[in-house]
Structure 1
Amino acid sequence: MPTRPTRAVDSAVPLLLDRRDAWMEVTLNRPERLNALDATLHGELAAALDMAAADDCRAVLITGAGRGFCAGQDLAARAFGDQPPDLGASLEAHYNPLIRRIRALRKPVICAVNGVAAGAGASIALACDIVLAARSAKFIQSFARIGLVPDSGGTFFLPRLIGDARARALMLLAEPLPAETAAEWGLIWKVVDDAALMDTARTMAAHLATQPTQGLALMKDAFDASPGNSLDDQLDLERDLQRAAGRTPDYREGVSAFMEKRPARFTGQPA
């Protein structure tokens, strides 16, 4: 598949965007800092996600350059003065909006974890819809090592994905979790060999970009609501979402393709 990079690969550029035929690849590009987040990278990543939300791309792939996915906050960018820093303000300004942007995207978001995903870096990965990890990758809830509380949705995602007992131990002990164990526990979707990670992730993104985008977005709505709903509430929500899905052109196309025994040609257009 031909690529149309919006930027040349340059280690001085904190974020790389590569717009494919119908999807976008977003690469955190501070490899010398294990793609740790500072204010500049936060701003670029927010702009990229806003672009993905606004244009006609139908899937997003997020990954990291170099040997790590994301080491979380760049501690070298923290300034200590006479007064303790207000880390809550940093979460409110940067991290919380970032997680909300990822979760709010009306299209599938894939994360290819190519190395260590630590602290908020792990939370960014877990905020995505599908997480693939290289066999050498590790997930680390590193907050206890510096006296902080897991953030960026970590205390939300981990207990729901792997249960309270495992989540508590990972956070309190701050021990690295190998990618293969993460997959066995249900924290992520799949582990692949390091050399195959990006080809696998790109093939998946290209596939999802051909699927019924509106139906997938409604599916995400159902997943997001499920943890807080009773069965009755979820049944009602499924009814409403199915009503909306049934009005999309892709539903009509899907049925036609099934009846005609041919591949469906979904457009992702709204009703």
Structure 2
Amino acid sequence: MYENILFEISDSVATIKLNRPQVYNALSTSLINEITAAMEVASTNEAIRVIIITGEGDKAFCSGADLKSGLDGGLTSLGDSLRKNYNPMIKAIRNVEKPVICRMNGIAAGAGMSLALACDMIIANKDAYMSELFVGIGLMPDAGSMYFLPRIVGMQKAFELCSTGRKIYMDEALSLGLVTNVVPYEKLDETINELTSYYKNAPTKAIGLMKKVLNQSFNSSIEEILEYEADNQDALGKTYDFAEGVMSFLQKRTPIFKGK
């Protein structure tokens, strides 16, 4: 079914691995569409409670668009390519009401950096770097970078990173808040496993709605956010996990959440 990714579901965890190491996991149209399709499967499968996106090998998470592959056959513009391919992929990651963890095994450049930033958390190989390298070919960042960057690092730093395209090594990325944690490559899986062990046993509905409301936070007034909180808290008050959480608190035991 998939030719450009490895897609695995194991013990409530879905792993999407970009599998084009010969081109540093560069994004072809087929690869983008396979990521989107896998995200849709992970979104609708209730058994899946956490999603990991990573790349094959220890060199590159994703080096950005595969310039050699050109545009999708029926498209005539870069804008059309974004609307048809890249944008649905980014929206699928942001809209899924489950935690998405980027296992940034290597460099994340161009649209590969956008892909990483779209995830809820980034655990990065300390030898990796990030770069908004679009300016080097006369383009502006896309696939969501212009949305994510100023929200994370502020407007002036976002402008600098976009307009220079310079490499951002992991110490700086961590200090800027671009990544969640930085570890040696050999510790990457151990760190990811610790996170997934938490999230696959967490109240998934609550975490999903946290993500949904956080997505609205920069585009809403305080009055609107208060109402979003009230509406979504009302929905969570009717879930199994809320009842279990209250009961476990009263019984002084660890809750057993089912993500329902």
What is the TM-score normalised by the length of structure 1? Answer: 0.91
Amino acid at match of 1:229: S
Output the CA distance in 2 between the equivalents of 1:203 and 1:14: 27
Preserved contact between residue 33 and residue 89 of structure 2 (Cα < 8 Å): no
- Deviation digits for residues 3-31 of structure 1, max 9, x if unmatched? xxx99xxxxx4200121111111100101
1:240 CA displacement: 1.4
Preserved contact between residue 23 and residue 206 of structure 1 (Cα < 8 Å): no
- Deviation digits for residues 51-78 of structure 1, max 9, x if unmatched? 1011121110000011100011001101
Output the CA distance in 1 between the equivalents of 2:225 and 2:49: 26
Unmatched 5+ stretches in structure 1: 1-5, 8-12
Preserved contact between residue 244 and residue 255 of structure 2 (Cα < 8 Å): yes
| Number of the residue aligned with 2:13 | 23
1:85 CA displacement: 4.8
| Number of the residue aligned with 1:131 | 122
Matches within 5 A, 1:187-226: 187-226=178-217
| Number of the residue aligned with 1:70 | 62
The answer to which of 207-216 and 84-93 deviates more is: 84-93
Amino acid at match of 2:83: E
Query: Which of 128, 144, 147 is the matching residue for 1:156?
Result: 147
Amino acid at match of 1:259: L
Preserved contact between residue 61 and residue 202 of structure 1 (Cα < 8 Å): no
1:202 CA displacement: 2.6
| Number of the residue aligned with 1:246 | 237
Output the CA distance in 1 between the equivalents of 2:180 and 2:201: 20
What is the TM-score normalised by the length of structure 2? Answer: 0.94
Unmatched 5+ stretches in structure 2: none
| Number of the residue aligned with 1:183 | 174
CA RMSD between the two structures: 1.8
Matches within 5 A, 1:56-95: 56=46, 57-66=48-57, 67-78=59-70, 85-95=76-86
| Number of the residue aligned with 1:38 | 28
| Number of the residue aligned with 1:3 | none
Query: Aligned to 1:150, what secondary structure does the other structure show?
Result: coil
| Number of the residue aligned with 1:232 | 223
- Find runs of 4+ consecutive structure 1 residues off by over 2 angstroms: none
Query: Which of 84, 98, 121 is the matching residue for 2:112?
Result: 121
